[in-house]
Amino acid sequence: MEFVEQLKSSVDIVEVVGQYVRLKKAGTRWVGLCPFHTEKTPSFGVHAVHQFYKCFGCGAGGDVIRFVMEIEGLTFYEALKQLAERHGIPMPKRSDYSDPQTKLRAALYRMHEIARDVFRSALASGAGDEARAYLAKRGVAPATAAEFELGYADGGGQALVRAFEKERFAPEEMEASGLVLKREQGSGFFDRFRNRLMFPIRNEAGKIIAFGGRALAAGQEPKYLNSPETEIYRKGRVLYNLDRAKESIRKGDRAVLVEGYMDVIGVWAAGVHQAVATCGTALRPEQVRLLRRHTERIVVNFDPDEAGMKAAERSIETLLEERMRVRVLELEGGLDPDEYVKANGAEAYRAHLDKAPGYFNWLADRARARFDMNTVEGRVAGLQFLLPAIQRLSDKLERAAVADEVAGYLRLERGLVLENFRRAAAERREKTIEQPKEPARPVERILINAILSSEEACRAVLPRLKSMAAVQQFATRRIFHALFAMQDAGAPIRFSELSGRLEEQDQNLLAAVVFSDKGEQEDHSPERALECLRTLEGQEMESRRAALKAQIREAERAGMLEEAMRLMSDLNHLDRA
């Protein structure tokens, strides 16, 4: 048996998905909240018999390998390898189980490890004096620098190039790493990061996938330079320090979102292990989803300057959109988290985290500080300022409660506030995959489910269905055409192969047929399928008879007696059949 098939048949998709999603059993199906989009009522299902998953909200779907690829961000071969390792199934040592993409990614991981080592030894060397002085000034102890594997990229621009050439990486691999750049003139490469303090960025599994570099010289721009996106690094899908912080986040049921690497390191060294940061970009929904697997509660603690406040406002919107429970901490004295723990200690910081106010109070305070609350115009402007955050509340009751609060805060009429909320909410509706225009009828549902669950039904039903005109009227006709083609080709008739032959629209229809609530109570035995077939044949006979009778009447009326006689004999033939 092909290895992929062997693997698929020895792992259970319900068990694999269950490691990421809380699933509830409903017959042969399991349902839960989709991990690929944010929702409140489950539209995500896993089918134990056909071994596939499908989300009727966002359309995600596929087999167990697809699921692991999507949720872990892996290539096909990496997903195979992970599944095989976790289930103790030996991988065949054949080169075709490693495609060029997987090989390239392995080289990039290796190059990032080498870069970390090069940067670390440079930090310890004489060249790193200035970087070490900066760390000392920021109060980062050598042990902390070692724990976070901080390093130094020297100003020469050849350290990584030399290290990579020594290891004989191909020029394409060097270019794809994002760590070195091709010279515009002449040949060869030079290092992207020069004279910078280096922060390794790890994915959730702890692998280094990128670097952030802080400028050390006065006037050196930009202040922070990050790796570009590469085959292993997607900016919007990584949170700095999540690999270390996730255990503490889960235990304490709370995450802390700070602005920069130094904040994360500073509060970590003081003993607060729940902080994560974006890597120099605005917070993305994908990043929130990473967090959400560990906790729903988050405290946003950004720098107290205007840029930090604006970034906090944007982050709150994204967090609310992903249904996080958000609090905002603004530290007294205009201190950022790193400065605060150094000045006041971890205990004081933790106490502030515990009593951080809900996001709404913080936003309302921002509105009151920004607009003149003594005029109606100012108060309405304040309401407009609050709307984007509030329109992301998808719960009606919660919105109504917030409307009361907003009205009180801004001294506006409750009706006016609610009206604005309603309009804002109407603009935002949860998107769902396009529902099929003509849903499958019960007979189609029974036939498809029976065919997919027994070979006997296949053999008995498919050949007879093939010659029937009724199939052309089915909403599921293209699914049947695929089934006919599969039987003609002698291919085994299985859900995954069938689904693979269909266009997306029909894949959705097939999933709906297999996942149907009504299907759970239906009899999908071969006998029941044959019964349906006979009913269809009876109906078809009846309509052919009716058509012939109409043609006969037509011929008689036109005086075409010979034609009428011929049709009559056809009709007799039909009656005898």
Phi and psi of 474, rounded to 5°?
-70, 145
Is residue 134 within 8 A of residue 197, CB to CB? The reply is yes
Beta bridge partners of 55: 44
Residue 11 DSSP SS3: coil
How far apart are CB 508 and Zn ion at their closest, in Å? 12
Shortest Cβ 20–Zn ion spacing (Å): 13
The answer to whether the beta carbons of residues 358 and 324 sit under 8 Å apart is no
Cα separation, 123 vs 232, in Å, equals: 25
CB-CB contact of 515 with 54 (8 Å): yes
Nearer to Zn ion, 33 or 447 (CB): 33
We find the least distance from the C-beta atom of residue 285 to Zn ion, in angstroms, to be 13
What minimum distance in Å lies between the beta carbon of 479 and Zn ion? 22
Q: What is the 3-state secondary structure (H, E, C) of 266-319?
A: HHHHCCCCCEEECCCCCCCHHHHHHHHCCCCEEEECCCCCHHHHHHHHHHHHHH
Asked if 36 interacts with Zn ion (CB under 5 A), we say yes
Smallest separation (angstroms) from Zn ion to the CB of 488: 35
Q: By CB under 5 A, what part of segment 15-34 binds Zn ion?
A: 34
Which H or E run includes 162? helix 159-166
34 vs 412 by CB, closer to Zn ion: 34
CB of 39 to Zn ion, least distance (A): 7
Q: Is 246 in the site for Zn ion (CB under 5 A)?
A: no
Tell me the window of 55-63, 143-151, 386-394, 436-444 that interacts with Zn ion (CB under 5 A): 55-63
The closest alpha carbon to 331, from 359, 308, 302, belongs to: 302
Residue 44 CB, nearest approach to Zn ion (Å): 6
Cβ 411 to Zn ion shortest distance, Å: 41
- Least distance CB 317 / Zn ion (angstroms): 21
- Please tell me what DSSP assigns to residue 230: B
Residue span binding Zn ion (CB under 5 A) among the ranges 47-55, 245-253, 346-354, 439-447: 47-55
**Could you tell me how far CA 358 lies from the centroid of its own chain?**
27
Tell me whether residue 34 or residue 108 sits nearer to Zn ion (CB atom).
Answer: 34
3-class DSSP string for 438-468: CCCCHHHHHHHHHHHHCHHHHHHHHHHHHCC
Which parts of 346-385 interact with Zn ion (CB under 5 A)?
none
Stretch that binds Zn ion, among 49-57, 66-74, 210-218, 453-461 (CB under 5 A): 49-57
Closest CA to 20 of 204, 202, 201: 204
- By CB under 5 A, what part of segment 60-89 binds Zn ion? 60
Name which of 48 and 58 has its Cβ closer to Zn ion. 58
User: Which conformational region is residue 105 in: left (phi greater than 0), alpha (psi within -120 to 50 degrees), or beta?
Assistant: alpha
Does position 511 interact with Zn ion (CB under 5 A)? The reply is no
Q: Which of 32, 57, 61, 62 binds Zn ion (CB under 5 A)?
A: 57
Give whichever of 57 and 382 is closer to Zn ion, judged by the CB atom. Answer: 57
Least spacing, CB of residue 31 vs Zn ion, in Å? 12
Could you tell me how many residues of this chain bind Zn ion (CB under 5 A)?
A: 7
Q: Of the two residues 55 and 364, which places its CB atom closer to Zn ion in the complex?
A: 55
Q: Are 479 and 510 in contact (CB under 8 A)?
A: yes
Q: Is 41 or 467 the residue whose CB approaches Zn ion more closely?
A: 41
Give me the half-sphere count of Cα atoms (radius 13 Å) on the Cβ side of residue 324: 34
Closest CB to Zn ion among 58 and 530?
A: 58
Enumerate residues 439-458 that contact Zn ion by CB under 5 A. none
**183's tokens:** 């010279």
> Cβ closer to Zn ion: 35 or 212?
35
By CB under 5 A, is residue 37 in contact with Zn ion? yes
Nearer to Zn ion, 34 or 201 (CB): 34
Tell me how crowded residue 547 is: count the other CB atoms within 10 A of its CB: 12
Nearer to Zn ion, 59 or 308 (CB): 59
CB of 35 to Zn ion, least distance (A): 8
When asked if residue 480 is in the footprint of Zn ion (CB under 5 A), the reply is no
- The residues, any chain, with a CB within 8 Å of residue 5's CB and separated by 6 or more, are none
Residue 431 CA, chain-centre distance (Å), reads 15
The residues near 206 (Cβ < 8 Å, ≥ 6 apart) are 243
Q: Residue 277: which of 317, 304, 252, 241 has the closest Cα?
A: 241
Does 55 sit near Zn ion (CB under 5 A)?
yes
Give me the least distance between CB of 72 and Zn ion, in Å please: 16
Query: Segment near Zn ion (CB under 5 A), from 35-43, 288-296, 415-423, 471-479?
Result: 35-43
| Closer residue to Zn ion in complex, CB, 58/424 | 58
Q: How far apart are CA 188 and CA 150, in angstroms?
A: 27
Q: Which of 48, 58, 335, 387 contacts Zn ion by CB under 5 A?
A: 58
Q: Give the interface with Zn ion as residue ranges (CB under 5 A).
A: 34, 36-37, 55, 57-58, 60
